[in-house]
Every structure is written in C-alpha cells, then in structure tokens.
Chains A and B, each alone.
Chain A
Amino acid sequence: MKVLIIEDEKELAKSIVEYLSEEKYLCEEAATFTEAMNKIDVFNYDCILLDITLPDGNGLKILEELKKDNKQDGVIIISAKNSLDDKIKGLQIGADDYLTKPFHLSELTARIYSLIRRRQFNNANIIRLDELEIDLLAKSVTVNNESVPLTKKEFDLLIYFIGNKKRVLSKSTLAEHLSGDFADMLDNHDFVYAHVKNLKKKLSDAGCEQYIKTVYGTGYIWNG
C-alpha cells in the first residue's frame, strides 16, 4: 500500500511516517505544493494525506488536479483549518475524508484503513480474521458464520481496533474517537470501559477468540 503524505510540517510528517510504516504502508513525503504535484503526476497512491495550507500553494488545488486527471487515489484532507466551509468544499471537490489537526495517529490509521478497504473492495467489502468476519458495507459481524448483533458504537469500536492492530489504544484516545462532536462536553471516560467490555463479551460469547487485551491497566490492544 502506498501512501503519500503532503505535509509541510516536518515533525508531523515524520510521526505519521513512523506510525504508518509499522502497518506495512509504503510512505512517501512531499513538503511543498510543487513536490506534491511532481509525485502525483508520476505515481499512483492508494491514499494521499493532504494538508491544505502549503507554503507554495493551496492543497485544494492538488485535489482539483487529481480529479481533473481522473486519478483514483483516495484523499484524506488533514488540515489545521477547522472551518466547516473548508470541510464541505474539500468533500465536494472529491476528498474521501477530512481530519482536523491535531488528530491521533490511531484515528488517522483507522481512517486510512477504512478508505483503502472501501476503494479496493467496492461491492463486497468483507474483512476476514480467522473466525471473525466483518461486512463493512452492511455493518454486520459474524463469528463462525453466526451473526453477532453489535450496536453502532461497538461496531465503530471494532473497526477502530482492526484498523490499529497491535497498537496500544489508550482510554482517552478511544474516548475522543467515540464521543465525536460531544467530546468537548464529556468529562467521564468510563463509558469507554463499558463499550469495550460489551464488545469483548459479545465477541467471546459468539465463540470468537479474545483478541482485545488490556494493557497497562487502562489501555487496550488488538492482538490477532
């Protein structure tokens, strides 16, 4: 899987590369508009992480070029601009996702994972992990061909874990992911524990191996 990171902030790009490299993603970096355009002209990527504010141009221009050339690269905008209008504009031009800085690397990874899955398996997007089968389109889960009824949040949580296999996910990171727009107002992170507990119980009740492990007392990891 090839990922192009168009980001002018060196440290940020470095962190992303470091985190993604462990996922067997092949990362390339572009720090400027020109550099990015040169790479896009020559190569195809599975996913492009696009910063809108670049020193020598607007990232949205790159997106427009991609769409004009009918390129199939998936694009996730990563922007420090939290402007709602920018978000809508980006998605209208054809970005697949929009992530506001600062974000957790696990969040980014989960989004890249979902995006690539979506693009590769358009019609039957099914993840198979031994006895576990996840249908991303139907949002259904089966264990040994038996369906496991998960709530929306539990399903969301499961995908997050699958997208961050073998990564330590801390309670506060999960809380931020799960609460979304309400993150600002929720101060108690105990609901994370409840959600994870329910998910674990439903999966193991269906006969699935216990992939989710607790680490360091409050963190979680998907070991499978």
Chain B
Amino acid sequence: MKKNLLQKSLKQLTIFAFIVFALSVPSYFLLVDWIWLKELDENNQLIAARIENEFNEQKINNEKLAESIAFWNEIQPVSKIESAANPLAKDSLYTIRRENSYSKSEAIDRFRGLKTNILINNKNYVLVVETNVEETEETVAYIAMVTLVFFMILVIGFWILNRKLSRKLWQPFQDTLEKLKSFQLNNQKRISFPETDIIEFNELNTTLDKLLQHNIAAYQSQKEFTENASHELQTPLAVLKNKIDLLLQSDDLTERQYHIAEEMNKAIIRSTRINKNLLLLAKIENNQFDSSTLIRLDTLIDQILDGLPTFFKDKNITITTHIQPAVEVTANSGLTEVLINNLVANAIRHTLPGGSIKIALSASGLEVSNSGEQPLNPDLLFKRFSRISADNNGSGLGLSIVQEICRFHNWEVSYNFKNATHIFFVRILTF
C-alpha cells in the first residue's frame, strides 16, 4: 500500500512513542513503589517510637504492663509486642503478602513490616509493626492506564498535526507536482513554478525548471532538424526525380537500362513519400495548422470513398458503411482528410483479398475496421517506421500521422482486435 511521506513518518513516530511509554510504565512503578516503601518504613519507625513512648509515659507497674501489652496485642492484630530476653542484633524490614485477618473478603493484601527493639520500663521488648501497602498490580494498572491516556493524546495529536502539516508544508510540492502533470513536451508551453520560502522545494523547482528547459530545447531542435532536413531534401529529390524522367525518355535506352531507371524511379518515389510524410509530421508537431474549420465528416467520408471503388474491385473487398448524417467537427480539413485517407487506405492495404471493411461514423467518433487474423501489437502500431506487416513498401508513417493528427485535435485513436477484426476508433472529443 502506498502512503504519503508524513504518514510513513507518523508510523515510525508512533512505534517509538509506544516503546518509550511502555518502558516508562515499569520505571514509574519501581519509582513509586520505592517511594512508598521508604515512606512506610519511616512511618513504621515513627509508630514504633510512639508506642514505646506512650507505654513508658503510662508509668505503670510490670504486672499492669504485661496485662496492657496482652490487651494491646489483642486489638492490634497487625502489630505485636513481645518481651525478649536479648535485644535483636539489628532491626529488620520486610514485605509480606497475606490475608487480612480482620477483613471479611479473602483478598490478599501486601504489608510492610518493621521488627525493632523497644524499651518499656527498662525491659526489652520486640515490636512488630505492619502497614498495609498498595498492591503491585494495582499500582502498575493505574500507571499503565494514565500512560495509555497520554499515549493516545500524543498519537491523536500527531495525527492532527500531521494532516495540518502535510497540507501546509507540502503545498509548494503539490503545486509543483500539479504543474509537472500538466506539462507536455510537444505543446511548447513553458511552465513556471510558484515561489516558495522552503529551501528544499525552491531547489527542486530550480532544478526541474533547468531540466525542462533543456528538454524543451532539445526537443525543439530535434523537431526543427526534422523539418529542415525534410525540406532541404525536397529539392535534390525533385532534381533526381526529373532527371530520371528525362532518362526514361532517351531514344537509345536499352531495356536493361530502362528497368534500372524504373527501379530508381520507384525508390525515388518512395523516398519522396517518406520525406513528405516526415515533413507533415513535423508540421503537425509544430502546430503549423489552423484547426478552426467546421467540417461535415459524413460528406468528407463520402468524398473519400468515392475515390476508392477501383481499389476495392482489385482486391475484391466488401465495404459496408454506417454513416450518421450531419456529423460536424471543428478541425483542420486537410488534416482530417489525411486522417481518414490513411485509416481507410491502411485497412484496404492490410485486408486480404475477399475480406471486408467497415466504416462507421457516429457523433462520438469514427470507426474503421477490417478483417484480419492476428491481433497487432498496439505498442508498435503507431510508432514511426515500425513495420508490423511483412510488406515493405509503405512509408511506415501512415498510422503515426493518424495519431499525430488526433493529438493535434485533442482526439483519441485506439486499436482493438475483436472477432477476427482489427478495429481502429477515433474518439472525437470536441464538438
């Protein structure tokens, strides 16, 4: 799945934040627990001191004291005072988990205990004080809950900021992208990128601008070269053609020489055609045509078909037409004629004797189809000089010209092979 750049970083950030928050939970717990225990130890010490102090201040005799201690032990189940012959070597601190003896529920509680020596009436006693401590699980659960809430806040914050940022921060980039999308090498229009105060984007725009200008210049000079070369070739080709014409008229020409001259004639006719078509292509590419004539397509097709019959007879091809009347387009009439001519002639040329051709015109476009056996490679079909069929006599530019004329008029030409039929369709988009 494709994501935009900030969404990608959002995922990384979220994972990192999650890890940090996850690690913080045990850290917080350990810290809180340590503070708890420390505080409770201090508290237990104070309680021990207070008990010792209070018993001493009673100033009662030993008998009464033993009675009081027994009673005190009775009402303070978590604490205990025991007389001891020898004082403990050292106070001891401990944590214990057990059932609360006075609680009705079976819950197990955690206690922090202190075992220390006290002196009452100058007699040694061992005092045990226990205080209830918050359970580990509960602490962890509370901390985790708070942490999760903050984590959620953080992620939502990221997400909102991200959306805002991606709109604001990346706006110049989006603008540049839009401009680039609209750029077409062959329509000569230079594009200017919007100014931005972000260094990286500015740099990108400058670089792109340079690149595009270089491309436009290269394309331009290539087109100019094609046009100039074809144009300059016209005259020598004309001279050559006419000299062959003269040669063919020589009185003392032998049959062998005539055939050589005729072969030259054929070659020169073909070069002339290729050259003419290249020139036409270059001119269409250079937009040297006006496209504002209103044309009746149905009449134009009728005219073109009128000039055809002999060729059909020669190949015994059946032609059917479905011409919708009064179809009008605004286009260049000469080019439109070339377009239809090329499509029709192409169909005739590649239909085997006895085959059929269908020409259909509707308001949406023109369809020229002919019977065939194998689908053709649509990638090569419209390419210059890419010969798909075995015969080598065409100029190899007919369909390229069709495509170029369509591009010029903002029409679309497509190829399809269905039911043993090659279908060429020109979608006429502007009416």
Contacts and interface: CB of A to CB of B under 8 A. Distances in A.
Interface of A: 9, 11-12, 15-16, 18-19, 22, 80, 82-85, 88, 100-106, 151, 153, 167-168, 170-173, 176, 180-188, 190-191, 194-195, 215-219
Contacts of B345: 182, 184-186
Contacts of B279: 82
Most chain B C-beta atoms within 10 Å of own C-beta, residue among A168, A184, A188: A184
A219 B314 contact: no
Contact of A15 (B246, B255, B261, B307): B246
B239 interface: yes
Contacts of A170: 248, 261-262, 265
Given A171-B262, A185-B348, A219-B258, A15 B243 contact: yes
A172 B237 CA distance: 16
A191 B311 CA distance: 8
10 contacts: A101-B235, A101-B238, A102-B234, A104-B241, A168-B248, A172-B266, A183-B269, A183-B273, A184-B345, A184-B395
B277 interface: yes
Interface in B241-278: 241-243, 245-246, 248-249, 253, 255, 258-259, 261-262, 265-266, 268-269, 272-273, 276-277
A176 B332 CA distance: 25
Contacts of B349: 185-187
Contact of A219 (B262, B307, B332, B393): B262
B246 A105 contact: yes
Given A168-B248, A176-B269, A182-B341, A187 B238 contact: no
Contact of B245 (A9, A83, A104, A195): A104
A84 B265 contact: no
Given A105-B246, A184-B395, 5 more contacts: A103-B241, A104-B245, A182-B307, A190-B314, A219-B248
A88 B258 CA distance: 38
B334 A12 contact: no
A184 B273 contact: yes
Contacts of B337: 181
Nearest to B335: A84
Interface of B is mostly: helix
Contacts of A217: 255, 259
Given A168-B249, A185-B349, A216 B258 contact: yes
A183 B393 CA distance: 11
Contacts of A215: 258
Given A80-B235, A105-B246, A173-B265, A85 B241 contact: no
B339 to A, nearest CB: 12
B394 interface: yes
A191 B234 CA distance: 28
A90 B415 CA distance: 38
A153 B308 CA distance: 10
Contacts of B272: 102
B239 A9 contact: yes
B123 interface: no
Interface in B368-421: 391, 393-395, 397-398
Contacts of A173: 245, 265, 269
A12 B235 contact: yes
A191 B310 CA distance: 8
B273 to A, nearest CB: 5
A7 to B, nearest CB: 10
A171 B261 CA distance: 12
A170 B395 CA distance: 21
Interface stretch (B98-106, B183-191, B282-290): B282-290
B97 interface: no
B131 interface: no
A19 B247 CA distance: 10
Given A100-B276, A217-B255, A187 B393 contact: yes
B240 interface: yes
Q: 7 closest Cβ contacts across the A-B interface?
A: A187-B393, A185-B345, A102-B238, A84-B334, A15-B242, A80-B234, A105-B245
Given A82-B280, A217-B255, A218-B262, A151 B310 contact: yes
B340 to A, nearest CB: 10
Contact of A105 (B234, B242, B262, B397): B242
A184 B277 contact: yes
A106 B338 CA distance: 25
B342 interface: yes
B231 interface: yes
A184 B394 contact: yes
Contacts of B234: 80, 101-102
B311 A103 contact: no
B238 A80 contact: yes
